[in-house]
């Protein structure tokens, strides 16, 4: 592979081709679980340069792994550690981060996909509009990664996942051709909507280089509350009440466990938002182009009257609201909870009307399969999507038992999710993490179709091999 490295250096100069030894962080996934190896890490500065990298790699039968902010949690952005001897080149898109002027007329913006989600949010805001997708990693996660994992986040409830915000794409294909599908049309019935294939494909079908994104009217009024709830079994009623009579102003509804409040408070020396202790809390936000305080007050008042909410605090200022959302952003356990790398981690979605039953069943499953594990569940309850963790025990005496139960716990939680018509990848994609386990989720014909599509677009399996699509059982 020295020849490939030499060709890359000649084509892009030494500064654009970094030695993997200097780029150790690039080769380890966010959670530290997945580690890969690479011949080179290349930082192209234009779409044409991305295409040239792909052509060179294809010629040398090397794999191409695209990386944005490396905040993905499924191991998709680092070369597969599946034991295959295939050399890989990581294409880092951080230099491809220009944002064109916002079109207020079309309510859209065209960006290079190495731009972060936060940078695009800022650009939209500067033009009096809003880019709605939002989550804790906004400052590092890129538009390319967000599109490629069909990312969700806290605003899905009102505005949907990334798929709903992409109007057009420019993509480098596996043979080095460039497809310019950058359009800002709101309606187009001219046949297959090819951009949809690349959304959520985790870099297995093409490298997205530019995107035209839909923007929306800015939210000018917002109101957030943090509420202690009586029980998760009331969630269906609470969600119905939160939505009732609001004309779509409910923009976020997040479930937070007391363990999370405790852990974030400890790590960042923050006071608890409420004196009242409960096992579970809701973080709820209303937003719109006219005042929404009344919507929030009616929800809280009604829920308190029925005994579903036992105490609540409404953020009176933007600072107080930011403080409440800070807790939500920091609930992710790496660095928050000891031995997190040993935890069982899932990101499942079920139909929203089954969420209470789902939480109860997760806890029951943990008790019966791995009594030493400690469930830590939070997330986008309004979308039926939960970040589920079963944390290792505090006591070393129980650790071996917990570790021994991990495979059975994953199997039981996967089956539980599917038995409720759910997905074990509500967010974050499949990557390497779920590539084997996802097999049980869909009929075999669905995976056959995915393989057929992959074969048409990438016959030599150049783009992100060993990810997303389960191995073909016929081979």
Ligand X SMILES: Cc1cc2nc3c(=O)[nH]c(=O)nc-3n(C[C@H](O)[C@H](O)[C@H](O)COP(=O)(O)OP(=O)(O)OC[C@H]3O[C@@H](n4cnc5c(N)ncnc54)[C@H](O)[C@@H]3O)c2cc1C
Please report, as ranges, the residues that interact with ligand X according to CB under 6 A.
30, 65-73, 76-77, 93, 113, 135-137, 141-142, 144-146, 148-149, 151-153, 202-203, 207-208, 332, 427-428, 431, 464
17-18 and 40-42 as β-strands: parallel, antiparallel, unpaired?
Answer: antiparallel
CB of 239 to ligand X, least distance (A): 18
Q: For residue 166, what are the contacts with CB-CB under 8 A and spacing of at least 6?
A: 147, 195, 199, 211, 212, 213, 214
Select 155 or 441, whichever has its Cβ closest to ligand X: 155
User: Is 297 buried (19+), middle (13-18) or exposed (0-12) by CB count in 10 A?
Assistant: middle
Select 178 or 403, whichever has its Cβ closest to ligand X: 178
CB of 86 to ligand X, least distance (A): 15
Q: For residue 61, what are the contacts with CB-CB under 8 A and spacing of at least 6?
A: 86, 460
User: By Cβ distance, which residue is nearest to ligand X?
Assistant: 145
Select 116 or 365, whichever has its Cβ closest to ligand X: 116
CB of 428 to ligand X, least distance (A): 5
Select 260 or 393, whichever has its Cβ closest to ligand X: 260
362: alpha, beta or left? (left if phi > 0; alpha if psi -120 to 50): alpha
Angle at 47 between CA 42 and CA 52, to 5 degrees: 55
- Rounded CA Rg of the chain: 23
Select 380 or 405, whichever has its Cβ closest to ligand X: 380
Structure token digits, residue 468 = 């997303």
Select 41 or 207, whichever has its Cβ closest to ligand X: 207
Q: What is the largest CA-CA distance in the chain?
A: 73
Cβ contact 215:106 at 8 Å: no
Select 72 or 373, whichever has its Cβ closest to ligand X: 72
Cβ contact 149:200 at 8 Å: yes
CB of 62 to ligand X, least distance (A): 15
Write b or e for each residue in 375-404: b if 16 or more Cβ atoms lie within 10 A of its Cβ, otherwise e.
bbbbbbbbbbbbbbbbbbbeeeeeeeebee
In this structure, what is the dihedral angle of CA atoms 103, 109, 112, 118, given to the nearest 10 degrees?
120
Structure token digits, residue 341 = 């790398």
At 375 the three-state DSSP class reads strand
Nearest C-alpha neighbor of 44 from the set 30, 29, 31, 57: 57
Select 65 or 372, whichever has its Cβ closest to ligand X: 65
CB of 74 to ligand X, least distance (A): 7
Strands in 173-322 per DSSP E: 178-181, 207-214, 216-217, 221-229, 250-257, 280-288, 309-314
Select 43 or 428, whichever has its Cβ closest to ligand X: 428
CB of 273 to ligand X, least distance (A): 20
CB of 275 to ligand X, least distance (A): 28
CB of 274 to ligand X, least distance (A): 23
Select 94 or 339, whichever has its Cβ closest to ligand X: 94
CB of 217 to ligand X, least distance (A): 23
In this structure, what is the dihedral angle of CA atoms 229, 232, 233, 237, given to the nearest 10 degrees?
60
Select 172 or 292, whichever has its Cβ closest to ligand X: 172
CB of 385 to ligand X, least distance (A): 8
CB of 29 to ligand X, least distance (A): 8
User: Is 265 buried (19+), middle (13-18) or exposed (0-12) by CB count in 10 A?
Assistant: middle
């Amino acid at each position: 592979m020295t020849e490939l490295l030499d060709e890359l250096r000649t084509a892009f100069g030494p500064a654009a081709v970094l030695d993997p030894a200097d780029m150790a962080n690039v080769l380890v996934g966010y959670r530290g679980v997945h580690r890969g190896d690479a011949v080179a890490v290349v930082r192209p500065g234009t779409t044409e340069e991305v295409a040239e990298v792909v052509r060179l790699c294809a010629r040398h039968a090397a794999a191409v792994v695209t990386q944005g902010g490396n905040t993905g949690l499924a191991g998709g952005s680092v070369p597969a550690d599946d034991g295959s001897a295939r050399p890989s080149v990581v294409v880092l898109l951080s230099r491809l981060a220009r944002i064109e002027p916002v079109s207020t007329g079309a309510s859209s913006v065209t960006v290079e996909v190495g731009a972060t989600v936060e940078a695009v949010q800022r650009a939209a805001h500067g033009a009096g509009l809003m880019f709605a997708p939002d989550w804790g990693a906004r400052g590092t996660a890129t538009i390319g990664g967000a599109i490629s994992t069909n990312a969700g986040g806290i605003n899905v409830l009102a505005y949907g996942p990334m798929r709903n915000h992409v109007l057009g794409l420019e993509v480098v294909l596996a043979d080095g051709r460039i497809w310019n599908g950058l359009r800002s049309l709101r309606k187009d019935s001219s046949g297959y909507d090819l951009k949809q294939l690349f959304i959520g494909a985790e870099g297995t079908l093409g490298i997205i280089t530019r995107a035209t994104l839909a923007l929306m009217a800015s939210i000018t009024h917002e109101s957030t509350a943090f509420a202690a709830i009586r029980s998760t079994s009331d969630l269906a009623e609470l969600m119905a009440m939160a939505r009732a009579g609001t004309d779509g102003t409910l923009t976020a509804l997040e479930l937070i466990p007391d363990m999370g409040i405790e852990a974030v408070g400890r790590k960042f020396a923050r006071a608890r938002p409420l004196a009242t202790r409960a096992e579970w809390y809701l973080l709820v936000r209303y937003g719109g182009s006219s005042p929404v305080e009344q919507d929030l007050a009616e929800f809280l008042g009604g829920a308190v009257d029925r005994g579903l909410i036992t105490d609540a605090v409404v953020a009176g200022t933007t600072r107080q609201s930011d403080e409440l959302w800070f807790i939500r952003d920091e609930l992710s356990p790496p660095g928050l909870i000891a031995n997190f790398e040993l935890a069982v981690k899932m990101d499942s979605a079920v139909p929203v009307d089954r969420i209470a039953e789902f939480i109860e069943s997760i806890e029951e499953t943990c008790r019966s399969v791995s009594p030493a594990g400690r469930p830590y569940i939070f997330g986008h309850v309004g979308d039926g999507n939960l970040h589920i963790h079963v944390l290792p025990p505090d006591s070393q005496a129980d650790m071996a038992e917990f570790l021994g139960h991990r495979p059975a716990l994953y199997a039981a939680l996967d089956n539980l999710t599917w038995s409720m018509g759910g997905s074990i990848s509500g967010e974050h994609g499949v990557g390497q993490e779920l590539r084997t386990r996802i097999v049980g989720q869909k009929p075999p014909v669905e995976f056959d179709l995915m393989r057929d599509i992959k074969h048409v677009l990438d016959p030599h399996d150049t783009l992100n091999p060993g990810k997303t699509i389960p191995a073909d059982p016929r081979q």
